Homo-oligomer: A and B are copies of this chain.
């Protein structure tokens, strides 16, 4: 039997995925017809990105699951017409890219690289930086990405703390949870990385009170979601010196408007939402595997908990 899949995304996304998805479905042993025609209301699955055309899922009564191409699902999870199971993207390419981005910027701060890039001729202050083992980095969010990032930082020698809504347990990351736990996780840390899902409970979770717990001159790296950080509190903490520098990859409005104060700030580095991207080849395998599971009545991978919002 042939399954019918609606690929609801931007045309350029479809161009990138088309061949990879066909290969992945074929390898998973799934005979499939993939369409981008949103008037095909008899589809069995919808592959989804928020920028695509489908907004009303109620018109696809046969659809067994909606498979998000994005790791973050905050733009779809509240859609009242969505009654089907929803899965998030957990892609090894996405995770590798995130690890590389965060490790690169953590080491940049740790080593003070910016100072050498812009050093005046003849500057020779040859005191080496402390070792990573003397630095504490706190990761807010211990999902697939936060955990992978934490493990990579531990491997590089850093002391890593992790905070999550529900208490977790990890052999090398010191785990915290709850609001008392958040204070303990942030207290005297040299830097913080925000990798939480965006929900009503996590919006502005890194605010003035939280930043005030960090070491003076701490760094902030946000490769998660823009609204996790209170922007005004961040600017104030940079002004007071509590935060030494921030690298931000995600913003409330993207692209970040050219007149936004983050661009001009000499202690904020803006990156254009490139910390990590789903890779068409590995992501197609995840989509194909979930369709194979659904057709075999096996539980779906990376199923979204609609009440929790991720």
Interface size class, chain A: 35 or more
Query: Least Cβ distance of A3 to chain B in Å?
Result: 30
B96 near A104 with CB under 8 A, answer no
Number of copies of this kind of chain in the complex: 2
A108 near B110 with CB under 8 A, answer no
B96 near A126 with CB under 8 A, answer no
With A103-B156, A258-B122 known to touch, is A96 a contact of B133 (CB < 8 Å)? yes
Measured between beta carbons, the chain B residues less than 8 angstroms from A308 are none
A110 near B117 with CB under 8 A, answer no
B269 near A126 with CB under 8 A, answer no
A155 near B157 with CB under 8 A, answer no
Is A233 part of the contact surface with B, judged by Cβ < 8 Å? no
* Residues of A near any B CB (own CB < 8 A): 93, 96-97, 99-101, 103-105, 107-108, 110-111, 113-114, 116-117, 119, 121-129, 131-133, 152, 155-157, 247, 254-260, 263-264, 269-277, 279
The 5 closest A-B pairs by CB, nearest first: A122-B258, A104-B107, A121-B263, A124-B255, A128-B277
